[in-house]
Amino acid sequence: FPVSLAADPAVISPQDPTLLIGSSLVATCTVSPDFPLKAEDLYWTLNGRRLPAASYAALGPSTLSVALARLNGSRQQSGDNLVCHSRDGGILAGSCLYVGLPPEKPVNITCWSKNMKDLTCKWAPGTEGETFLHTNYTLKYKLRWYGRDNTCQEYHTAGPYSCHIPKDLALFTPYEIWVEASNRLGVAVSDVVMLDILDVVTTDPPSDVHVSRVGDLEDQLSVRWSSPPALKDFLFQAKYQIQYRVEDSSEWKVVDDVGNQTSCRLAGLRPGTVYFVQVRCNPFGIYGSKKAGIWSDWSNPTAASTPRSERGAGGCDPKGGEQNTTLRRELKQFFGWVKKHAYGCSNLGIKLYDQWRVWLQKSHKTRNQVGKEP
């Protein structure tokens, strides 16, 4: 049988060592007395590359050492392969070298609670250590003034550096939360974060988002939605944001000042155009919490189109262009007044605007009909 298939033909020492970057190492390969091999019959490889004979030394008739200086970080987290071979290439023994740095303390711990039913936290690792050695992360938490340390169990739920605590959380009592990083060269502990579940609540996105036309008004769409159902039994305030974009564009426009209403009118849109609309929610002031709240994800996009413009479709009225110019000027003046006196999605301003516009259109229609009479 080839030597490589025999049981324990040789032993490498040290076996699977862990070393700091820049360290030096002398490893030995000692052949079992049952095998007729001498030190001069051996050679070494590191990750498949043959090491120079100048780094070898015979320490006995059947022991060959190799000296490795200023080691770089391991190329793979499973360790670098240091292997002792017989002259014919057979593998006699192997060892893994773990070369790296101790872990650095995790930073930037942020947490959020979905509908006050759970807690998810994420963090950022240190910059260097994890590049070379596998690092384990453990999220720990406890009630601030009493209680024992608890360990989070569900990792990678919101990315590679995250953990999810699904239940059994207390309200109105702050938690201490921290992350421990450990690898073969040591342990590092993050700063402790203090938080109250009520201060980090987020919700599901608003549901039942409906977008519809506003009669024949070609530059407007109406948006309606429902408040988060999971929080209906809790005392809280909410503010909403809307973003919308044209069908063939990737650029979203954001409406910031919706406040706590569950409807809004989008104005100044292009006629005959498909728009995609999304809404998100920020619950704040839950049971008197003073924190700003955390925005939910955006709702799934809802699409609707504005009516096509009838202007510019052709016609025989020589005064049509002049009337359109007058109408645009009057609208611009009125819209300036609306913007000055109404804020964001004020229903009062928009209703007044609608009524004024309908009246204006009717008055133009009446004028045109009177002008066409013989």
Rounded CA separation 300/230 (Å): 18
Rounded CA separation 240/178 (Å): 32
Give the model confidence (pLDDT) of 55-92 as tens digits: 999 998 999 999 999 999 888 888 899 999 998 889 99
Phi, psi of 236 (to 5 degrees): -155, 165
End-to-end CA distance of the chain: 117
Sort 18 into a burial class: Cβ within 10 Å, 0-12 / 13-18 / 19+. middle
Render the burial of 47-83: b for 16+ CB within 10 Å, e for the rest: eeeebeeeebeeeeebbbbbebeebebbeeeebbebb
Residues 46 and 79 in one domain: yes
Residues 125 and 216 in one domain: no
DSSP for 283-331 reads: EE-GGG--S---PPPPPPPEEEEPPPP-TTS--S-TTHHHHHHHHHHHH
The answer to whether position 359 is within a domain reads no
Sort 88 into a burial class: Cβ within 10 Å, 0-12 / 13-18 / 19+. exposed
In the 8-state DSSP scheme, what is residue 197?
G
Structure-block tokens of residue 105:
């303390």
Residues 238 and 183 in one domain: no
- CA distance to 65, 99, 159, 280, per residue, from 103 (Å): 31, 13, 19, 38
Mean pLDDT along residues 293-297: 89
Residues 115 and 195 in one domain: yes
Phi, psi of 133 (to 5 degrees): -120, 145
Mean pLDDT along residues 354-368: 55
Q: Which helix (H) or strand (E) holds 350?
A: helix 347-372
Residues 115 and 150 in one domain: yes
State residue 318's pLDDT score.
Answer: 39
Residues 266 and 222 in one domain: yes
Q: Bridge-partner residues for 154, per DSSP?
A: 164
294 and 282 in contact (C-beta within 8 Å)? yes
The answer to whether position 126 is within a domain reads yes
Residues 19 and 95 in one domain: yes
In the 8-state DSSP scheme, what is residue 222?
E
The last residue of one of the domains, among 40, 67, 100, is 100
Phi, psi of 151 (to 5 degrees): -115, 130
State residue 159's pLDDT score.
Answer: 86
State residue 367's pLDDT score.
Answer: 53
Residues 73 and 48 in one domain: yes
The answer to whether position 38 is within a domain reads yes
Sort 311 into a burial class: Cβ within 10 Å, 0-12 / 13-18 / 19+. middle
The answer to whether position 364 is within a domain reads no
| Average pLDDT, rounded, for the chain | 82
State residue 4's pLDDT score.
Answer: 43
The strand order across the sheet containing 221-226 reads 207-213, 221-226, 263-266
Phi, psi of 315 (to 5 degrees): 165, 165
359 and 367 in contact (C-beta within 8 Å)? no
The last residue of one of the domains, among 306, 322, 349, is 306
Mean pLDDT along residues 16-26: 94
Structural domain count, the chain = 3
Give the model confidence (pLDDT) of 174-203 as tens digits: 999 999 999 999 999 999 999 988 889 888
The answer to whether position 311 is within a domain reads no
Residues 91 and 124 in one domain: no
The answer to whether position 341 is within a domain reads no
Containing structural domain, residue 234: 203-306
CATH number of the domain bearing residue 289: 2.60.40.10
Residues 267 and 218 in one domain: yes
The last residue of one of the domains, among 100, 127, 145, is 100
Rounded CA separation 349/332 (Å): 14
The answer to whether position 360 is within a domain reads no
Phi, psi of 5 (to 5 degrees): -95, -5
Give the model confidence (pLDDT) of 304-350 as tens digits: 999 987 654 333 333 444 555 656 666 666 666 455 445 455 444 55
Contacts of 119 (CB under 8 A, 6+ apart): 111, 112, 113, 141, 164, 165, 169, 175, 197, 200
Residues 117 and 157 in one domain: yes
Rounded CA separation 80/13 (Å): 15
The answer to whether position 169 is within a domain reads yes
Check pLDDT > 50 for residue 166: yes
Residues 243 and 185 in one domain: no
